[in-house]
Structure 1
């Protein structure tokens, strides 16, 4: 903090990983490691927030940096949990485990308060029927307990406080499925049982920690699932049905609720995910986990009109900035009046607007333009289709296709 240039740039991934490694020396026991990673994460997130408030990094840079902090923490905790678990139950020769990040973590877009949407996958293509420890376990029992231990390591408060809120509901079968999915079950589920909203979620997937060889296999399954040939109107009907459910359950009381409002973040993400699923069979490179990168890829491939892409990109950047600032300051507006006047100068500076009235006018105009694009590309084709498949979307759980539980803005 005493370095004058410390807050002038976003921290780099390697810099963050090295900092966490220094904060968690090998001689730390398991509990000390959990405390150390919580201290380090709190300091790292504080630094990112200060940079964003000072205007030295953008909301997109802050989102990437917050995501890099989460990646570093997951990569540091996972081997500590593996070692502690192996003391009693041993390991599997050739076994592997990886953590799949979805939603805003997958897209490297998380904010100061975002949950981590994760899926745990283990390699069940093993020669051994049991682990090799003093208290051996079969693979399904071994990894179920291991996943619970990892989940607790990420979420349980210690003397240093909490670390992350983790949502595992995007795993195969959701709350009805095991905490960790075997690779075989994951592959089979995505091939034959995954609903459209789950396939939408996979457009944002990336492996954030774990076995590199298993990660490659998992991402091959993701790529195959996303690149499946689909019918435009049937897909549009499924996507529109999912969006309608979310609108009914999570109505936005004002245009400051930039995630859920008509023409907000969800509409942009749904357009991008719909177009990726529609065109990925012919254009495999379209699957970009980051929303802005996906929109650019769609434009470059000719799958999204240039004018529409420019509008969506401009809106995505503005919504991301507003959302990041509201979440960082804890001022998620619950009323139609919007954020408190004390935040107006920060909002105007972050969005480069002369006053709050100009910002609000642009937000209203831009949200209307985005909604028009969504209606033209998704809602209107959906209206021409047969009723959506019963498997198009999940029950009313508050989940979104982006993987992030709807909350406030």
Structure 2
């Protein structure tokens, strides 16, 4: 019995941040809109197609973008709204496909393999895309093929707001005419390096002996050759929702002091946020756990805008704790858990305030890695220590 053919769909929300802003501010439709940091020191997160006509693109210094398109409308961005709409799309996809991977805040892979026994896969994928647009009001592009990298490339070709299927057996027809720069992961430097050795199209790579590519490019040469043959992974990392990070502590004596409990909550949140950053993850959900002296255990969770910043996580953890802790009741254990984890990618770095904070936290993380986490602690913990000493 032959193995089922892989069917991988790739969904990408078009100019996601701008699209959300246009939902919130429909009067900006048709105008050059840029979302990102400040005009002087920030970078472009994303921009409308009207702004792209002037040469503006993601990750460009904002000062350069404003020179190219001085009439552009600059928006700082509303990260909470982006998280909200990302979760809407995530929930829809989770309810419609058997297996999916959330690659970033606006990008998803779906494994539809085996569903061809019950549905026309192409039709089902297009209907899912249309359903997402209807429910959220957001434009979304989609590619469908036998491998993740081909589907992503198909999505890029389908933009803006389109669908492209690469049927089984037609991978080379799709890939070979393309310039080498179209392969995922080939940046400007890699492109120049490949062209310097005579590789201008994907077909050029395909027709070069793999041994030659390995000699010139190392392991990357083999990877490029395999992609040029239409061979790629169809395996998804579908554990993003299930994965979580947590820490908890059991007290030697039952505690009723709210200041003490807050301090322990801060310590646990800091510790878990440190783990989060070490793993290059963001969290979209916080759970606070309380076990009372009589062993009754309760927990409360809330979704948040994706983040890995101590101050935001601590503020939300305290807020959750204060909402459901029964004041005066003795506590035996307290815990914190982060779930709905997602790769950091560029999601936070493109916002000035979050980028600055993240850089500071990572600097502290480096100190902790070198000298131990006991060396660095929050003022709240220090003040409690002094209070006990006095």
Q: TM-score, normalised by structure 1?
A: 0.27
Structure of higher RCO (CA pairs closer than 8 Å, 6+ residues apart): 1
Larger Rg over CA atoms: 2
* TM-score normalised by L of structure 2: 0.28
